[in-house]
């Protein structure tokens, strides 16, 4: 969803150029659009953070470990492919990966992306507040 929305922004701004002749009003509209997108992104990140916190605080070990397990699995898979590549052994692995349905890849990449972004944001906030 986000990539499609991001791709629309230049088109919307181009539309502003055509339908809002006043440069000041056009700048206001662009600023309002930017503010709206930033608020929306903030809400999405807050929701993702809440899910991650709930998962991490879960008493169920599998639930609290699911995201880190997926991240470690992904990193392991990438490492295996890189190490197998010089020996010509990466082709069967990559062929098998191509057979995975795109919806499953979307689910995995979104989960890993949210986890990685959430951890980075968490650490940035802690550093900003003076913690570690």
CB atoms < 10 A from the CB of 65, how many? 14
- Residues above pLDDT 90, as percent of the chain: 14
Of 56-60, 66-70, 117-121, least confident by mean pLDDT is 117-121
Report pLDDT for 1: 47
Report pLDDT for 72: 86
Question: What pTM was estimated for this model as a whole?
Answer: 0.43
Burial zone of 130 (CB within 10 Å; 0-12 exposed, 13-18 middle, 19+ buried): exposed
DSSP 9-59: HHHHHHHHHHH---HHHHHHHHHHHHHHHHHHHHHHHHHHHHHHHHHHH-S
| 68 pLDDT higher than 60 | yes
Residue ranges of domains in the chain? 1-57, 64-132
**Mean pLDDT on 100-105:** 87
Of 35-44, 48-57, 92-101, least confident by mean pLDDT is 48-57
Please tell me the distance from the alpha carbon of residue 19 to that of residue 24, in angstroms, as a whole number.
Answer: 13
Report pLDDT for 83: 95
């Amino acid at each position: 969803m986000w990539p499609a929305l991001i791709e629309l922004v230049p088109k919307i701004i181009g539309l502003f150029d055509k339908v809002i002749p006043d440069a000041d009003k056009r700048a206001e509209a662009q600023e309002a659009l930017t503010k709206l997108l930033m608020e929306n992104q903030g809400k999405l990140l807050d929701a993702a953070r809440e899910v991650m916190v709930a998962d991490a605080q879960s008493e169920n070990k599998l639930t609290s470990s699911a995201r880190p397990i997926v991240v470690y699995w992904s990193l392991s898979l990438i490492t295996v492919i890189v190490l197998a590549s010089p020996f010509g052994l990466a082709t069967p692995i990559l062929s098998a990966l191509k057979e995975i349905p795109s919806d499953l890849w979307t689910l995995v990449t979104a989960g890993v992306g949210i986890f990685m972004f959430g951890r980075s944001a968490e650490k940035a906030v802690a550093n900003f507040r003076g913690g570690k």
